[in-house]
Every structure is written in C-alpha cells, then in structure tokens.
Amino acid sequence: MYIKLDKKDKRTLWLQIVDQVIEYITNGQLSPGDPLVPTRQLAQELSISRSSVQIAYEELQSRGYVVTSRRGGTRVCEIMPDNNSEPSEHTVPAIPSKPFLEEKTEGVDHWPEVAQEEKAEIDFRLHVPYIDPIFQKLWRRASNSAMREENVFDWGYSSSYGLYSVREQISRYLAIERGIHVQPNQILLTLGARQTMDIIAQALLQEGDLVSVEDPGFPVAWTSMRYRNMRIEPVPVDNQGICVGEISPHTKMIFTTPSHQFPSGVLMTANRRQELIQFAQQNQTWIIEDDYDGEFRYRGGPIPSLYSQLPTNILYLLSFTKLLAPGIRLAAVIGPEEAIARMAKVQEFVCRHLPVMEQLALGQFFETGDLLKHVRRMRSIYHKRHRHIIQTLTASGLAEKFHILGTESGLHVLLESHDQFDEYEAVNAALKAGVGVFPLSPYCLESSRKGLLLGFAHLESMKIIEGIKRLAHVLI
C-alpha cells in the first residue's frame, strides 16, 4: 500500500490517507483480511505525526472499511461490491398507478393545448384576486409587527388548532360579518382548501364512503376525496342550487357552495336550503359549506350561512385566498367541537402545526382592523368591476348569445351556451384576439353543460371593457 500526501491539498493529511485507503479497497488492491501498515511505521514513512495516522485509521473503522484488534492489528473488512452498472427495471421501486393523480391538476385553470407564444394580453383568469398596493403595505406592516412579537412561546411548538389569538379574532370576524357565533375551539386553521378537504376525509370518513359533490363544481372537492378512496356522486345544479332530490340517502357528506355556486354563480334559494338541511338531519349527513367568496355580494347583504341554521351537521370553510391573496396559505374550518378536535388530531399527525409567521401576521391584520377595512375596500372595487363586465356583456350583444350567470356576486361570471357549443374553438378564437377565457367543461363530472368562464377581479375596468369587446368581435 503506497500512500502519497500532497501538502498543497486543502484536505487534511489524515483525510488524504482515508481517501487513498478506501480507493485501494474499492478497486481490489486491498482485499478482505489484508493488514494495513502499522500506524507507527506509516507515520515514519510519511514523515508525519503518528496521531494523524491514528485518526485516519479510526475514521476508516467508523466507516466500516477496517477492523482493529490487539493481536491482528488493523485489517480490511469484507466489503460488498459496488455495482456501478445502470439499474435494471427490477431494481427501481415501483410507483403504483393512481389515475386521479395522473389527471391534469391544471384542469382547474384549463387552457386548451395552444402554442406557447400565444399568450393572452387580457387574461380573464379565475381564482385570482386583486392584490393592490394598499393591501401590500398593510400586510407588510402586519408582518413587521409579527416579527417584533416578544412572546417566545409563539415561536415554539404550538397548537395543531392554530394560534389561539388568531382563532379568537376569526370568531369575532364571523360574528360581525356572517352572524356565525362560535368559540375558538370550534375553529381549526389549515393551509388552504385542499388540505382542509384532505383532513376532513381522513378525520370524518372511512374508505369507500359516498361523497356527493356539485356538478359542475369545484374539482378540488372530488379529487381530494378520490385521493382518499371515497366514492363520488355527481349531483346536478339548477337555478336554485344543488338538486337535493338527486342526492343518494346513503351519502355521508355533501360538498356545496350555497352563497355563490362555483362555477355557475347561482345563489341557493331559501327553499332549497331548507330542503338540504332537512336531508342532512334525516340522513345524519355532513355538509361542507364552502363560502369561498361570500364577502363579495353586490345586491343586498351577505347570504345567511347554512351553518347558522344547522351547526351540528355542517363544516363551514373560510378561505383567505380570495379575501387576501393566494400566497397566504391559511384557511379555517368551523364546526362542532368534537369534529374539529378529531381534525386537529389529524393535522397534528401530518404536519404538527402551521407556520407561525403567517398566523401572527394575520392576527395583526385582524387586531388593527385592517382586515375589515380591506374587505370593504375590495367589495367596492369588485362591485365596480362586476358592474362594468355585466354592462359590457349586455351592450356587446354577448348577453343575447349566452345566458349570463353570476350577476349578483362573486369574482367571475359564466357565459353559458347550449350542449353542442364548441368551447375550445371559442377559447382559441379569443386567444388569437389576445383574450384569455376558460371553458366550463373541466369543472363538470357528468354534466354536459357548456360555456365560458371569465374571472375579472384582478383586471382594471378599462381592460375588462376592452376584453369583452374583443371577445364579442370573435364570438358574434
């Protein structure tokens, strides 16, 4: 065994010895059982201190390349051969097929297959709120205040429910804005609608349970449940909301968006609400009430929640995605204390607790009153933009060609057409005119409804008006 040391090498002398001995072993120049040169002898040969050689041998032993005994000295161990060949198919772990994961998750933003260079100058993209400079300034201030938070306990492991102070603020907000009166232990903070749905499935359902969803509806509702091996029942939606008469009495859970049905935009009528509540009572069924943009109603006040009528059977979802910004990954689910406790246990198991900074900043945003001011300012801005899109759709003639839905609330409108309407031809034609619109069909399970969806929240009024004019030019 010949060891050569390079004093210009940045590695220490003992590490150079280690690396060279390992190379001798792996290329077969040293075989199992072969002795290494005694430490004193090697130190003399290399003109270095014996301690450096001893450190090298100790490191080789700790890595499992050699073994040392009093009588046998230091000898090479039996080392498994290093197979550097390309792994065969049999050596690579198999990834099970899960069709619902292979589906295009981008389907909820669904662009047809178009050339990359074709981009919409005026993009009526869904799910995007207006993030104005005033909000950015206020959130920055809230975040800075959170950074100065002196309560060190908030920076340690916290409750899987979310920070108590934030849940207190949410309970006050719900009482003021929604007429929902709950205690903080009936509120669970989560990382958004997707995680909330997954936690609900794990906590309150069993594999194979039947879950009813609106059709057309919110794809996250059914994909999350499919991921947990639930059976999905599509339920039609008419101009009064979800068709309760079409729901199986065997369903364990119903997902609905009563305040502003997504994506059709209809409001669930009082009679349909009573019908749904009676169904849940009679069949001991959970209802998930997703109030994703209930703050933004432009005719009258907010629609009363289902939760306020049947708190024993309903889980109420409050997301800050539309209210503030999608990047603030916080949401809340409100429900019976026992159900929320079960969900908190699941959340504790999967992620221990939520990030502290976002919670503290949100708490500051509530505490200063900035959140209520923000909601009211956004409602005024969105009302103006909503008025302009409805007026321009009417003036352009598109309201005669399509049935316009979503005329009272929300951040998008639906231009519904007949069953034979070619959505993708319309989407491509609009794109050639520099306008981005989205087909309805990706939001359908069994429904054959067709149309175009237009989100307007992030667009200024002039852009909205120009985009509708261009759309009318290519579709009429």
Question: CA-CA distance, 286 to 335, in Å (whole number)?
Answer: 10
Closest CA to 420 of 453, 400, 449: 449
Residues 336 and 382 in one domain: no
Helix axes 337-351, 193-204, angle to 10 degrees: 110
* CATH number, residue 47: 1.10.10.10
Per the domain annotation, does 120 fall within a domain?
A: yes
Q: What pLDDT score does 154 carry? A: 62
338 in any annotated domain: yes
The phi, psi pair for 190, rounded to 5°, reads -135, 180
Whether 387 and 355 share a structural domain = no
Residue 398 sits in the same domain as residue 323: no
In a domain, 136, yes or no: no
Domain containing residue 24: 13-76
Distances, alpha carbon 147 to alpha carbons 141, 142, 144, 335, 463, in Å:
10, 9, 5, 31, 38
Q: Quick check: is 233 in a domain?
A: yes
Structure tokens, 385:
């933009």
Other beta carbons within 10 Å of 151: 10
Radius of gyration over every alpha carbon of the chain, rounded to an integer in angstroms: 31
CA dihedral 442, 446, 452, 455 (to 10 degrees): -60
Q: Clarify whether residues 357 and 247 are in a common domain.
A: yes
In a domain, 259, yes or no: yes
Query: 238 and 151: one domain?
Result: yes
Output the pLDDT for position 116: 46
Burial profile 385-424: b = 16 or more Cβ within 10 angstroms, e = fewer:
bbebbbebbeebebbeebebbbbbbbbbbbbbbeeebebe
If asked whether residues 176 and 286 sit together in one domain, one would say yes
319, containing H or E segment = strand 314-319
Predicted local confidence at residue 91, as pLDDT: 60
In this structure, the answer to whether residues 65 and 121 fall within a common structural domain is no
Of the residues 349, 368, 387, the one at which a domain ends = 368
- Show pLDDT as tens, one digit a residue, over the chain (476 residues): 789 999 889 899 999 999 999 999 988 899 999 999 999 999 999 999 999 999 999 999 999 999 988 777 899 998 766 655 565 655 677 666 666 555 544 444 445 454 445 678 999 999 899 998 999 999 999 988 888 765 655 667 778 999 999 999 999 999 988 889 999 999 999 998 889 999 999 999 999 999 999 999 999 899 999 999 999 999 999 999 999 999 999 999 999 999 999 999 999 999 999 999 999 999 999 999 999 888 888 887 778 899 999 999 999 999 888 889 888 889 999 999 999 999 999 999 988 888 888 898 999 999 999 999 999 999 999 999 999 999 999 999 999 999 999 988 899 999 999 999 999 999 999 999 999 999 999 999 999 999 999 999 999 999 999 999 999 999 98
Residues 48 and 175 in one domain: no
Does 1 reside within a domain? Answer: no
SS3 42: helix
On the CB side of 236, how many CA atoms lie within 13 Å of its CA?
Answer: 9
With contact defined as beta carbons under 8 Å apart, do 213 and 221 qualify? yes
Same-domain status, 446 and 309: no
Query: Residue 4: how many CB atoms within 10 A of its CB?
Result: 8
Give, in order, the Cα–Cα distances in Å from 92 to each of 28, 87, 99, 102: 28, 7, 21, 20
At 202, give phi and psi (nearest 5°): -70, -35
Given 337, 368, 399, the domain boundary residue is 368
72 occurs within a structural domain: yes
* Residues 24 and 151 reside in one and the same domain: no
Domain count, the chain: 3
Q: Is residue 32 part of a domain?
A: yes
Distance set, CA 194 to CA 93, 127, 338, 347 (Å):
28, 14, 21, 13
Q: Are residues 468 and 380 in the same domain?
A: yes
Q: Give the CATH number of the domain where residue 425 resides.
A: 3.90.1150.10
Amino acid at 1: M
Residues in the chain: 476
327 and 420 co-located in one domain? no
Q: Is 92 exposed, middle or buried (0-12, 13-18, 19+ CB in 10 A)?
A: exposed
Out of 368, 403, 435, a domain closes at 368
Question: What is the sign, positive or negative, of the torsion defined by CA atoms of 100, 103, 109, 110?
Answer: negative
